[in-house]
C-alpha cells in the first residue's frame, strides 16, 4: 500500500448519500451538479452510492468492438448504452452492484491522480477483507480490484474509472455483490479477457448495506476523513442546481 501524508489539521468530515436505484443519466446529471458546486468551494466532499438500471458505459478509451451484443440484443435484455468522460474502456452497471461516486476536492488531500486511484483500489481491497475475501489491485493500466474466482482463476470483482477536473473527482467504482454475471457476456469488460465475479459467486453472503458500510469506513480512513454524515436534506439535484445559480 502506498504511503500518504497525514492530515495537517483536524480531519474534515464528509457526506454519504445513497441514491438507491437510479438510471445512469440521472445519476450523471446529479454528479455534474455537485462537481460544479465543489469547484466553487460550495458544499462538502460527498461519497454517493447508487444501484443502476442495466447500462453499458463507454469510457474515453472505449473500443466499440468490446461490445459483443448487437443493439437489438441489448434492447431485448433491457440494457442501454451511454458515453462517459471517465477513463477506461467498456464496463457494465446494473442491479446487484454497489456503485460509488466520490466527489472529492483533492486540494486538501493530495493532487495526485495515480495516488487517488490507488487509494480507491486499496479501500475496496480492505473492505473486501472484512468479509474474508483476499483481493488485490494489478500493476500498470489494469485498474480495478481482482480476486481468484471459484475456479481458482484471476477474476475482476470491482471496476474503476474516474475523471478529475480542477482536482475535483467524479465517477468511481462498481463492486459486484450479487450481480447477474450473465450481463457481462455482452461485453469485454474493460477490454480485458479476464472473467468477472461477485461476492455471491464467491460464496460470500453480504448485504448491500453491509458492504457499503465497510467501503465507507475504509475510504474514510485512507482519505483522512472523520466520521461521515448522512444529510437530511431535500432531493440532491434540486438543492445542487439551486446553489450554483448566479
Backbone phi, psi, residue 98, to 5°: -100, 105
Question: How do strand 97-103 and strand 55-58 relate by DSSP bridges?
Answer: unpaired
* Residues 124 and 173 sit within 8 Å (Cβ to Cβ): yes
Burial 174-210 (b: 16+ CB within 10 A, else e): bbbbbbebebbebbbbbbbebebbbbbbbeeebebee
* Residues 81 and 178 sit within 8 Å (Cβ to Cβ): no
**Residue 238, C-beta contacts closer than 8 angstroms, at least 6 positions apart:** none
Closest CA to 143 of 207, 190, 105: 190
* Residues 68 and 146 sit within 8 Å (Cβ to Cβ): no
The catalytic residues are 190
Q: Which residue has the cell 480542477?
A: 166
Q: Using CA atoms, how far apart are residues 128 and 183, in angstroms rounded to an integer?
A: 22
DSSP per-residue codes, 220-231:
HHHTT--S-B--
Amino acid at each position: 500500500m502506498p504511503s500518504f501524508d497525514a492530515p495537517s489539521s483536524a480531519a474534515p468530515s464528509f457526506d454519504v448519500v445513497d441514491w438507491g436505484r437510479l438510471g445512469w443519466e440521472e445519476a450523471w446529471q446529479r454528479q455534474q451538479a455537485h462537481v460544479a458546486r465543489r469547484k466553487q468551494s460550495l458544499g462538502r466532499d460527498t461519497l454517493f452510492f447508487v444501484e443502476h438500471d442495466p447500462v453499458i458505459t463507454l469510457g474515453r478509451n472505449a473500443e466499440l468492438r468490446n461490445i459483443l451484443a448487437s443493439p437489438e440484443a441489448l434492447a431485448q435484455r433491457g440494457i442501454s448504452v451511454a458515453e462517459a468522460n471517465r477513463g477506461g474502456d467498456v464496463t457494465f452497471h446494473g442491479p446487484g452492484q454497489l456503485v460509488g461516486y466520490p466527489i472529492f476536492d483533492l486540494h486538501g488531500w493530495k493532487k495526485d491522480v495515480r495516488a487517488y486511484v490507488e487509494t480507491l483500489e486499496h479501500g475496496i481491497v480492505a473492505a473486501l477483507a472484512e468479509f474474508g475475501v483476499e483481493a488485490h489491485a494489478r500493476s500498470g493500466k489494469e485498474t480495478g480490484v481482482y480476486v481468484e474466482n471459484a475456479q481458482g482463476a484471476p477474476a475482476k470483482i470491482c471496476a474503476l474509472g474516474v475523471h478529475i477536473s480542477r482536482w475535483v473527482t467524479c465517477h468511481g467504482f462498481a463492486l459486484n455483490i450479487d450481480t447477474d454475471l450473465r450481463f457481462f457476456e455482452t461485453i469485454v469488460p474493460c477490454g480485458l479477457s479476464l472473467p468477472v465475479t461477485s461476492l455471491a459467486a464467491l460464496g460470500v453472503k453480504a448485504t448491500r448495506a453491509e458492504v457499503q458500510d465497510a467501503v465507507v469506513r475504509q475510504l474514510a480512513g485512507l482519505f483522512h476523513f472523520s466520521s461521515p454524515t448522512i444529510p437530511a436534506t431535500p432531493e440532491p439535484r434540486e438543492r445542487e442546481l439551486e446553489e450554483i445559480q448566479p
